[in-house]
Amino acid sequence: MNKESLKMYRYFLKDSIRKKINFRFTDQNQGIPAPPIEKICKKDSKRIDLPGPDLWENIPTTDLTMAIGNRKSRRIYTKQCLSLEELAYLLWCTQGMRGDVTAGHAYRNVPSAGCRHALETYLAILNVNGLDSGMYRYLPLSHQLVFEFSDDLLSEKMVVASLGQSYPGKCAATFIWVAIPYRMEWRYGLAAHKVIALDAGHVCQNLYLACETINAGTCAIAAYDQEELDELLGLNGEDEFAIYIASVGKVKK
């Protein structure tokens, strides 16, 4: 291994960069308005309402100790579909809103550096009751899905984008977290990027624990074809790009 390259990449894991930044010159402190906390939809986009916590009828009370004790990566799923209620629950647990939006802050059910929440959740839906197969995106502000596109080869394309790993093509839904780095850069400048990666970990761990409560399983995927996945999602790979994936499906009891 190249020692200089190792030094450079290990530097990313540290917080030394913070000592080299003059935060007076971040866009926030220059008076530039905060970027939107949710990616804007086209006006004619198809939206699907999701049931909120007050409408859930089949989501069991969570025993956190049991969920943590049972948590593991699960790659084999049954053919049973996820219900729309279960999907809504998983989305609420991973990116759901908590309280009102104030001054560009959106408090959610996961922590985020500076409450910036630089992630969007895309969903490759293959087997969810009440939803056509296709690509969707979660809208946390309204607790809705927006339909992005359909693709008869979505299952196969997800496998290719996952470097041949089969389970994203055999699950009920694949969560794809997309970074919009400027949301974090606006406040933290060059100190933004490590904390975006940390935020993705917070989100995915909530997904693991939430899956355990509904007889579902998930498997996080960090090895994927960046360019293939970004192209599939219609992302430019610079201002927004995929950073983490997790397949989800029902599992045998």
> What per-residue confidence (pLDDT) applies to 1?
85
**Local structure of 99: helix, strand or coil:** strand
Mean pLDDT over all residues of the chain?
96
Domains annotated on the chain, with CATH = 46-250 (3.40.109.10)
Q: What is the DSSP-derived secondary structure letter of residue 34? A: P
In terms of residues, how long is the chain? Answer: 253
Q: What is the DSSP-derived secondary structure letter of residue 27? A: T
Q: What is the pLDDT of residues 173-187, one digit of tens each?
A: 999 999 999 999 999
- Name 39's Cβ contacts closer than 8 Å, sequence gap at least 6: 120, 137, 180, 240
How far is it, in rounded angstroms, from Cα 191 to Cα 185? 7
Q: What is the pLDDT of residues 5-14, one digit of tens each?
A: 999 999 999 9
Percent of the chain whose pLDDT exceeds 70: 99
List, edge to edge, every strand of the sheet that includes 119-125: 47-49, 144-149, 134-139, 119-125, 173-179, 241-250, 216-221
**Local structure of 16: helix, strand or coil:** helix
Angle between helices 226-233 and 154-161 (to 10 degrees): 150
pLDDT at 103 over 70: no
Mean pLDDT value of segment 97-108: 80
Q: Which of 144, 147, 148 is nearest to 96 (CA)?
A: 144
Percent of the chain whose pLDDT exceeds 90: 93
Q: What is the pLDDT of residues 51-91, one digit of tens each?
A: 999 999 999 988 899 999 999 999 999 999 999 999 999 99
Contact call for residues 168 and 158 (beta carbons, < 8 A):
yes
> What per-residue confidence (pLDDT) applies to 199?
98
Q: What is the pLDDT of residues 185-216, one digit of tens each?
A: 999 999 999 999 999 999 999 999 999 999 99
How far is it, in rounded angstroms, from Cα 168 to Cα 72? 17
